[in-house]
Structure 1
Amino acid sequence: MTQSNFNSKRIESIDVFRALTMFLMIFVNDFWTLTNVPEGLQHMDAQVDAIGFSDIIFPAFLFIVGLSIPFAIKARRNKGDSNGPILVHVFKRTLALIIMGLFMVNFESINADLLLINKYAWELIMGLAIFLIWTLYKPAKKNQKKTILQLTGLALLIFLAVIYKGGSNDNVLWMQTHWWGILGLIGWAYLLNTLIYLFFGRSLVILWIVFIVFHVLNIEEFASVTGIPNLKFVISASMHVAVCAGMIVGSVMLHFKALEKEKLFLLFVLVLGIVSLVYGFALRPYWGGFSKVRGTPSWASVCIGISCLSFLVLYVIVDKLKFKTWTNLFKIAGTNTLTCYLIPYFIYPLVMIFALSLPDILLDGYIGLLKSLVFSFIVIGITALLNNINIKLKV
């Protein structure tokens, strides 16, 4: 790729990175259906000082959320949007992610014995409601029909909230925020970092200061280094720092695109990745070890390093060498990411309702892992089919 191409062409590796991350997220999220999954592939328990393969997928997605923010803001400004319309879009998107995450995380602690309907029917209705509300309806579709569908989805969510029962039979609870769910965590981290970029993104110095502040707040969650109470922006600072790291990489990419200095960008990502890895391993004994569940700063730093180097490799392969035919297997997940994430919320409850099952041999060990890989491709295929008939979630 020439330097002029670096300045003018779309960065396809961003979509590929997002698609690959979503594909792997579906893969590891299917491990609950298997037995004898190799320990190194699983999520590690909260008190175990280790990082499993599953523990690096979500922070990679947070990184790609941050990586996309500078490009999204730039695109909207190029269309003539001022901060006002952009803020409206950001808040609407955040609210959608938080609402979806709230319902999903509460399904995990639902009390099937006290529920008015079958718990898997509750999950199916949740998925249907989300599609009705947040499907990307064609502009040609009559506003009245769109409004009716969205109001129907809203009514279904309200119904699910009204009948919800959680907790134990002796201590019945209504819906709680718990840990917000994956989409909720993304929503909160996206909101704070996007607001920062919207008002201060033109200054890389300020973005670096914010990154350092987030990291210090992450350390404060485990040991006081400033002598002041830990300040928490709703969720762990480890989430914010992962998004901020991606946001800095995206900002630096835009900066060097304008200067047509691709090599400096590549060098920056390489150095940031290596430094993050070395730093994460170096501070491991001091700030809680490695733990995704607890969101330790050492885990966050190592995952940022892995994300940087992974993106660098993908950029070289896809954007520089133009070797991208292989991405056709899953690239739809990079543009229809939310749709792809929601498909299992239909498949799993249908399997449970109709008591469908596979032979145990297909659910065990390495054969089981192959089954989960096939499941990921099935989800990708369903997403592609839905896209072909213009069904796509968009927030």
Structure 2
Amino acid sequence: MLSIKAQRVRSIDVLRGLTIFTMVFVNELAGVADIPRWAKHLPASADGMTFVDAVFPAFLFIVGMSIPFAIQRRLEKGDSWWQLEQHILFRTLGLLVLGVFMVNAEGGYNQSLMLIPISVWSLLFYLAAILIWKVYNTENKAWIYTCKSLGFIILLILFFLYRGGEDGKKGMEVHWWGILGLIGWAYFTATCIYQLVKGSLVGLCIGVVGCVAYYVILHLPAVASSGIAGYLPGTGHATHASLVLSGIILSTIYFGGTKGHTLAQKTGYAILFAVVLAIAATILRRWYPISKIGATPPWALYCSAIVTSLYIILYYLVDIKGKVAWTNFLQPAASNPLLTYIIPSILGWFFSWVGINIVPAFMQSGWPGAIWSLVFSLIILGIAYLLTKMKLRLQL
């Protein structure tokens, strides 16, 4: 494995915090009426993207930037090959489980045939998630295993309590994997490629090309009409994996593969990487649209180029110039991203359960709605900060 120092890079934390903060903002903004088109996701039929369409790929990219450091930390702790693979598999499984439960809570359920309201079902799910993935600050193994076991038991009960379909005969289904589930598949694919090529920059670049080629091949008319694609993983997973791999490449440029190079040289490589991504996206756009819904290569490559460019600036400001004071409000989202991400859902289900609507009607449309979305996002960061101070931290 290509050596990379296991360290905490402030600019990566800042990028993660910015991305989570923006995710919370755009998720709240999605429920606001009468806002400009550029503030919402574009439909599947559109050829283009808004800044909203770039948030999810930005998070996939930052997942990739963190992978080399995470793997190196585990190796330095003495993890064997099998322990490392177990961690990767369990992390992937955790993301898939979280994604599927969240998706089934969004729709497809038959509440009248469930023993508890969907709001209570969802709150119990988040309680189980916290029990299972909480970072326990204790050496008491018995207590840790008891809490985690209780979480698993709650999940099993909720699984069997769930009823879907008009007749209630359906259980939980994979309608789609959800945001967290898609992250899980992309993380797993990219991590396997990273290990396979032993962190080589050339190998990682080939991995990105391979992901794009997989999409192109499965969309060839002859292949698409043959039905072969129905037996293979979806092309969207490959596109998402290319975003994670691009993040790994950028981390390798700055902290691994160009070790010993000057800042100017590393910045030059990063700029070249962004330019190549943008050129490749432009070429591919002759045949494929820019589409988040379709998870097309031009969309992913353009987004990777944008995030790479943003990180070049952040790295210079934060790590080189030490301009960090403005980033302090992002620290909860940076250090506790999973908890920050699920807090809005927990609050939403709680207020649904007690029957309270905390957002007045005039703040559900137009600029008042946009301002509320921003204020709400800041409130979520504040709650995440308090919970983190109370030692509530989640980690897959």
**If the length of structure 1 is used for normalisation, what is the TM-score?**
0.91
Shift of 1:249: 1.3
> Hey, what's the Cα distance between the residues in 1 that align with 2:133 and 2:149?
11
| 1:7–1:257 contact (8 Å) kept in structure 2 | no
Superposed CA deviations along residues 235-260 of structure 1, whole A, max 9, x for unmatched, are 53111111111111112222356214
Give the corresponding residue for 2:265.
264
Superposed CA deviations along residues 131-158 of structure 1, whole A, max 9, x for unmatched, are 0111001133x22222222122111111
Identity %: 34
Give the corresponding residue for 1:43.
41
* Equivalent AA in structure 2 for residue 34 of structure 1: V
User: Any gaps of 5 or more consecutive residues in structure 2?
Assistant: none
* Equivalent AA in structure 1 for residue 11 of structure 2: S
| 1:361–1:367 contact (8 Å) kept in structure 2 | yes
Shift of 1:341: 0.9
User: Any gaps of 5 or more consecutive residues in structure 1?
Assistant: 1-5
Shift of 1:232: 4.3
Residue 279 (1) aligns with residue 276 (2): no
Give the corresponding residue for 2:365.
364
Give the corresponding residue for 1:351.
351
Give the corresponding residue for 1:3.
none
| 1:242–1:304 contact (8 Å) kept in structure 2 | yes
SS in structure 2 opposite 1:113?
A: helix
Query: Compared with structure 1, are the counterparts of its residues 225 and 274 closer, same or farther at alpha carbon in structure 2 (3 Å cutoff)?
Result: farther
> Hey, what's the Cα distance between the residues in 2 that align with 1:10 and 1:387?
18
Give the corresponding residue for 2:217.
220
Query: Compared with structure 1, are the counterparts of its residues 81 and 224 closer, same or farther at alpha carbon in structure 2 (3 Å cutoff)?
Result: farther
* Equivalent AA in structure 2 for residue 332 of structure 1: P
Shift of 1:225: 9.1
| 1:219–1:296 contact (8 Å) kept in structure 2 | no
Superposed CA deviations along residues 275-304 of structure 1, whole A, max 9, x for unmatched, are 3224323432412x1211111111111111
| 1:330–1:377 contact (8 Å) kept in structure 2 | no
> Hey, what's the Cα distance between the residues in 2 that align with 1:148 and 1:255?
40
> Hey, what's the Cα distance between the residues in 2 that align with 1:189 and 1:105?
18
Give the corresponding residue for 2:375.
374
> Hey, what's the Cα distance between the residues in 2 that align with 1:105 and 1:126?
12
Give the corresponding residue for 2:160.
162
Query: Compared with structure 1, are the counterparts of its residues 10 and 147 closer, same or farther at alpha carbon in structure 2 (3 Å cutoff)?
Result: closer
Shift of 1:124: 0.8
> Hey, what's the Cα distance between the residues in 1 that align with 2:374 and 2:333?
15
Decide which moves more: 340-349 or 193-202: 193-202
> Hey, what's the Cα distance between the residues in 1 that align with 2:155 and 2:5?
45
Superposed CA deviations along residues 114-145 of structure 1, whole A, max 9, x for unmatched, are 322111111111111100111001133x2222
Residue 124 (1) aligns with residue 116 (2): no
> Hey, what's the Cα distance between the residues in 2 that align with 1:377 and 1:291?
29
Give the corresponding residue for 2:171.
174
* Equivalent AA in structure 2 for residue 223 of structure 1: L
Query: Compared with structure 1, are the counterparts of its residues 206 and 282 closer, same or farther at alpha carbon in structure 2 (3 Å cutoff)?
Result: closer
Query: Compared with structure 1, are the counterparts of its residues 368 and 64 closer, same or farther at alpha carbon in structure 2 (3 Å cutoff)?
Result: same
Query: Compared with structure 1, are the counterparts of its residues 328 and 50 closer, same or farther at alpha carbon in structure 2 (3 Å cutoff)?
Result: same
Give the corresponding residue for 2:255.
254
Q: How does 1:278-357 map to 2 (within 5 A)?
A: 278-287=279-288, 289-357=289-357
* Equivalent AA in structure 2 for residue 272 of structure 1: F
